[in-house]
Amino acid sequence: MTIKKRVYKEPANPVGTVAELFAGVGGFRIGLAAAGWKTVFSNQWEPSTKVQHASDVYIAKFGEEGHSNEDISKVEKLPKKVDLLVGGFPCQDYSVAKTLNTSKGLRGKKGVLWWEILRLVSQHQPKFIFLENVDRLLKSPSSQRGRDFAVMLNTLGEEGYEIEWRVVNSAEYGFPQRRIRVFIVARKKKAGKKNPKQIILKSGILARALPVESTENEVTEIDLSDDADVISAKFNKGSEKSPFLSAGYFVDGIAYTLKTQAKESAEKSVLGDVLQKESEVPEEYWVSSTKLKDWKYLKGAKSIEREHKGSGTKYNYAEGKMAFPDLLTNPSRTILTGEGGTTPSRFKHIIQTKNGWRRLTPVELERLNGFPDDWTKFDANGKVVSDGKRAFFMGNALVIGLIEKVGKVIANELIS
């Protein structure tokens, strides 16, 4: 399948206005623009680096008007009229890159940013909210599985919202990357009797945007009517499993959850569909025969004897075999932030073509997320961004086509 290259275009007649938090290089904005939304405010700040690379790329593409490059805690207010608030809020404390027993959840350094989102929601009461995170969010932290998500549902519900969530694998909806994320959509609560199962499977915003079918007959109910501090202290203590399943709906203090599976797209895109012409691939992306053995070793199954730093106790560290090379006939694995650089790696992609073995280029990584070609090539000053940083951006980004699908349904809700 040939993937149509995306071109960014501001909507001529916007259906509504957007505030984009934790904006990165603008994935939400691109997808929502295609769905008819106009972004009037954006915020991007990376506390761990002096140079604000992502913000610089954002400004290069969209301009400085309405853009804030400061700690979100210093953002006192949003524009007066914002219909939709969106954001892929930092996921470091929920990421699979961290082991479960080191996951800090809302108490982690970046996890506390939830309260900044809530502060702005409370002040401005947007009609809709659309958030994205890693699916580990539903299981965080390791000591109280699902507590953090329970607190989020409770506190957002207290602001007058009904909330849907869904774990989404982009490849199941026809996109060329297996990127699994949790989508959270909230709207101002509507009067009337609710049918939670119907909302989860048929009538909800996420159900209409990304169709699913149920794999279980009954909806599980979770009582979250206590105060947030009580939930934080007592929720799910002693359990090794989160009660939150792959899809759900929250209203009036009760979360309803159900395991679902995607109604998969008839049209499928794969890794091979995003490749550039071989003549366009820079020389440094080709892997020499001398380096190939290192790639094979790192991708292969292995058992390594290690020693605990504290006790000195020896143990075997085991790793399973990974795909080598990454098959061009399948959707790609999830892009990680460490995808860049020439160093052999267990987690970077490596492909084999008729001309040899090579890594994926920045343009190919952009295409896997649905960005226009060379979207991240230049910063606000016209300076070329390093390939390693461009790969980092894509490891932190989202699949734009999914955002467009959800954005269109929210737009219909706004104007109906």
Q: Give the active site residues.
A: 91
Buried b (16+ CB within 10 A) or exposed e, 313-327: eeeeeeeeeeebbbe
SS (H, E, C) 109-143: CCCCHHHHHHHHHHHHCCCEEEEEEEHHHHHCCCC
Buried b (16+ CB within 10 A) or exposed e, 154-190: bbbbeeebbbbbbbbbbbbbbbbbbbbbbbbbbbeee
Report yes or no: 112 and 156 within 8 Å, Cβ to Cβ: no
Report yes or no: 15 and 36 within 8 Å, Cβ to Cβ: yes
* 345's tokens: 């790696």
Report yes or no: 42 and 29 within 8 Å, Cβ to Cβ: yes
What is the amino acid identity at position 266? Answer: A
Mutual angle of helices 53-62 and 387-396, in 10-degree steps? 80
Report yes or no: 407 and 86 within 8 Å, Cβ to Cβ: no
The greatest distance separating any two alpha carbons of the chain, rounded to the nearest whole angstrom, comes to 67
The closest alpha carbon to 134, from 177, 96, 99, 186, belongs to 96
> What is the gyration radius of the CA atoms in the chain, in angstroms?
22
CA atoms within 13 A on the CB side of 191: 0
Determine how many CB atoms are found less than 10 A away from the CB of residue 344.
18
